């Protein structure tokens, strides 16, 4: 585990960068839009909620534009990205943040099994994130590369009782990073994922009281926004200048955000693999992974040789 501390001088690299962000109306997304604009970026953000989005747009002036966009709609997302590209002729950073959590447990033994459960968490958190990543990659490529920052959760890698569908969706978001970063890095696109622990937004109202009584660590939305900015700027410094604790290239990383601090944990999961998988399993797995990552290997039977 490596604690990562923001190097404020890297925020200068955000000047005039074009950012597309989903879910910017409230909470973490709103704070990220504010921090990006404060540091000179131009942000085009999507959300389903109009009132707070229009307020944010008015607060930030010409550097922020709101586009009504339901992340679970592919055509809405195409429109969001196209609006940004048409306005600025490029996209440098994509932040995939829109998400919901349905607090009614569909696995509750008293739940009515004849009633089809909502899959909106999958549609917005997972399918929507895949849409953002796919369209985002297309636009980042136009400018020769950039940064894709995904927002998962502690539920992206840890057990979260009572939140089965949410947990599955957020594990999926970590899966987008793991599925994408190896092929994206050679295209100069860095894919990283943030996994915030408890953050003071409307998403956690149900558990807030007990949490504070136990004096457990809390993030403010600004802390998670800072972690997103760390990911978006870690590779942008000249001559290897980066954030304290960050290892370059900063790609394929998973950031645990807890108590306001950011910690990179994916490198250590990889480093410890021989311990939890066994040395021989780990060695053979490495061989298989190297084959799969080598040039000419393809899952597509029309392309493999």
Ligand X SMILES: NC(=O)c1ccc[n+]([C@@H]2O[C@H](COP(=O)([O-])OP(=O)(O)OC[C@H]3O[C@@H](n4cnc5c(N)ncnc54)[C@H](O)[C@@H]3O)[C@@H](O)[C@H]2O)c1
For the CB of residue 255, give the shortest distance to ligand X in the complex, in Å: 11
DSSP lists the bridge partners of residue 22 as 46
Based on CB atoms, which residue is closest to ligand X, 6 or 203? 203
Q: CA 291: distance to chain centroid?
A: 28
Q: How far apart are CA 191 and CA 182, in angstroms?
A: 9
| Active-site position among 53, 71, 72, 152 | 152
Q: 188's torsion region: left (phi>0), alpha (psi -120 to 50) or beta?
A: left
Phi, psi of 88 (to 5 degrees): -115, -5
Q: Is 88 a catalytic residue?
A: no
DSSP 8-class letter at 219: B
Among 67, 126, 189, 198, binds ligand X (CB under 6 A): 198
Hey, is 156 helix, strand or coil?
Answer: helix
| Active-site position among 31, 132, 166, 253 | 166
Among 10, 19, 67, 99, binds ligand X (CB under 6 A): 99
Q: How far apart are CA 30 and CA 49, in angstroms?
A: 12
Q: Is 152 a catalytic residue?
A: yes
Our finding on whether 192 is near ligand X (CB under 6 A) is: no
Our finding on whether 100 is near ligand X (CB under 6 A) is: yes
Among 72, 132, 165, 192, binds ligand X (CB under 6 A): 72
Q: How far apart are CA 64 and CA 4, in angstroms?
A: 28
Among 124, 137, 140, 184, binds ligand X (CB under 6 A): 124
Our finding on whether 127 is near ligand X (CB under 6 A) is: no
Based on CB atoms, which residue is closest to ligand X, 201 or 242? 201
Q: CA 268: distance to chain centroid?
A: 19
- Per-residue contact string for residues 4-23; x = within reach of ligand X by CB under 6 A: ------------------xx
Pairing verdict, β 261-264 and 2-4: antiparallel
Among 78, 160, 164, 204, binds ligand X (CB under 6 A): 204
- Residue 176 parent element (H or E): helix 164-184
Q: CA 179: distance to chain centroid?
A: 14
Q: Is 170 a catalytic residue?
A: yes
For the CB of residue 240, give the shortest distance to ligand X in the complex, in Å: 31
Based on CB atoms, which residue is closest to ligand X, 66 or 250? 66
Q: How far apart are CA 278 and CA 29, in angstroms?
A: 40
For the CB of residue 190, give the shortest distance to ligand X in the complex, in Å: 20
Task: Give the interface segment with ligand X, choosing from 193-201, 235-243, 263-271, 277-285 (CB under 6 A).
Answer: 193-201
Q: How far apart are CA 31 and CA 16, in angstroms?
A: 18
Short-list 208, 171, 176, 203, CA closest to 191: 176
| Active-site position among 71, 88, 132, 170 | 170
Our finding on whether 201 is near ligand X (CB under 6 A) is: yes
Based on CB atoms, which residue is closest to ligand X, 137 or 163? 163
Residues that bind ligand X (CB under 6 A): 22-23, 25-29, 46-49, 69-72, 97-101, 124, 151, 153-154, 196, 198-199, 201-204, 221
List, by residue number, the catalytic residues: 152, 166, 170
């Amino acid at each position: 585990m490596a604690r990562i501390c923001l190097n404020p001088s890297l925020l200068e690299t955000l000047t005039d960068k074009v950012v597309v962000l989903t879910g910017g109306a409230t909470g973490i997304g709103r704070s990220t839009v504010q921090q990006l604009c404060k540091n000179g970026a131009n942000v085009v953000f999507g959300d389903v909620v109009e009132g707070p989005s229009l307020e944010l747009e008015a607060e930030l002036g010409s550097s922020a534009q709101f586009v009504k966009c339901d992340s679970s709609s592919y055509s809405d997302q195409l429109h969001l990205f196209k609006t940004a590209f048409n306005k600025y002729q490029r996209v440098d950073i994509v932040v995939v943040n829109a998400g919901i959590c349905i607090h009614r447990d569909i696995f509750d033994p008293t739940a009515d099994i004849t009633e089809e459960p909502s899959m909106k968490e999958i549609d917005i958190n997972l399918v929507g994130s895949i849409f953002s990543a796919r369209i985002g990659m297309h636009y980042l490529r136009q400018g020769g590369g950039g940064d894709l920052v995904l927002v998962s959760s502690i539920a992206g890698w840890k057990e979260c009782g009572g939140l089965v569908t949410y947990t599955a969706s957020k594990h999926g978001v970590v899966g987008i990073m793991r599925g994408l970063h190896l092929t994206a890095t050679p295209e100069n696109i860095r894919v990283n994922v943030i996994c915030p622990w408890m953050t003071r937004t409307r998403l956690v109202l149900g558990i807030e009281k007990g949490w504070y009584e136990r004096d457990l660590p809390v993030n403010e939305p600004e802390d998670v926004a800072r972690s997103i900015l760390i990911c978006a700027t870690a590779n942008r410094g000249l001559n290897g200048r980066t954030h304290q604790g960050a290892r370059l290239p900063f790609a394929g990383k998973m950031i645990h955000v807890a108590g306001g601090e950011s910690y990179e944990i994916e490198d250590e999961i990889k480093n410890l693999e021989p311990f939890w998988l066994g040395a021989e399993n780990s060695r053979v797995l490495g061989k298989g992974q190297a084959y799969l990552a080598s040039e000419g290997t393809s899952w597509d039977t029309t392309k493999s040789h």
